[in-house]
Amino acid sequence: MKDCEVLKKWLHSIKNHVYWSAISSESGPEKVAKWNSLQNHIQNVHVHDDHLFPKCEHPDKVSRDPKKWFQPGSIALHKVEKLLYNKRVLKDIEKLSHHFQTSSLEAFHSLILRFAPKNVIFPFIGMLCRLYLAAMHYNENANREQATTTEGQAVYKFIFPKSKKGECTAKPVKIEPTYNYVDDLMSLLIHKVFVDPKPYAEELHAIPIPPSLSSQFEKPSKEEVIAHRVSRFSRGVAGTQHTVPLDQETVGGSG
């Protein structure tokens, strides 16, 4: 809508404000107070009636684009207030977590795929060991510092994530990962496990192994499965390959 063109200039800031309201607050009411401050901020009003957040924290400055502000009583402002400040949204804002974000969990899940690819089937103990390795690697490298140039400037790379529909984003480049946990494991293996493997073997055998998912189903005989497949295809079920006589081939071939 033409009346809502001004909203395009604020989409990115509104998304950031959701996260900022959560991570910078220690209570639900404080999150709501900071979230509500956006209604004033987009109208170039930076003092608020809520004592939990009475004033915007950014420095006072004159905007280079005075047309970016929402006008009081405008259609655009009405739609924003209706969409972002209804009871359901405010209830969700109050429950946002200020302790943890899912990005770290998603990064760990992505790391697991490097140690245990989905296209490879591992036994239970093998999968458990790979999960332990992934956890050790993540714990050692999750908080790596950002890489810097020889002049001391922070290094970034530019990406175009699908979620932002072509918008370019600067992503910090971290220093190379380390693998000190491998040295610790090798030291344990050589100096303790090889010397006296019995207690480690007993501990390994004590791990309860759950039954496989397929074990809960009745397994038919091989001949029965093959016979069922052959009879299914002989009935002309979808998936059967049909041959076409040469004289019925599609017109347009060579010749």
Place of tokens 């939990």: 52
Global pTM? 0.61
Which residues have CB under 8 Å from 26's CB, separation 6+?
98
Tell me the pLDDT tens digit for each residue of 238-248: 444 554 444 44
- CA 110 to CA 73: how far, in whole Å? 47
Kindly give the confidence (pLDDT) of every residue in the chain, 255 residues in length, as a single tens digit, with 9 standing for 90 and above: 677 888 888 998 999 999 999 999 999 999 999 999 999 999 999 999 999 999 999 888 878 888 889 999 999 999 999 999 999 999 999 999 887 777 888 999 999 999 999 999 999 999 999 999 999 999 999 999 999 999 999 999 998 878 777 778 888 999 999 999 999 999 999 999 999 999 999 999 999 999 888 888 888 888 888 888 888 666 655 444 554 444 444 444 444
Contact 70, 80 (CB under 8 A): yes
Q: What are the residue boundaries of the structural domains of the chain, listed by start?
A: 2-94, 101-143+179-212, 146-177
CA-based Rg of the chain, rounded to a whole angstrom?
30
Tell me the pLDDT tens digit for each residue of 116-165: 999 999 999 999 999 999 999 999 999 999 999 999 999 999 988 787 77
- What pLDDT, on the 0 to 100 scale, is given for residue 67? 86
- What pLDDT, on the 0 to 100 scale, is given for residue 202? 96
Place of tokens 């100096």: 191
- What pLDDT, on the 0 to 100 scale, is given for residue 246? 46
- What pLDDT, on the 0 to 100 scale, is given for residue 232? 66
Surface-to-core class of residue 79, CB atoms within 10 Å of its CB (0-12 exposed, 13-18 middle, 19+ buried) = middle
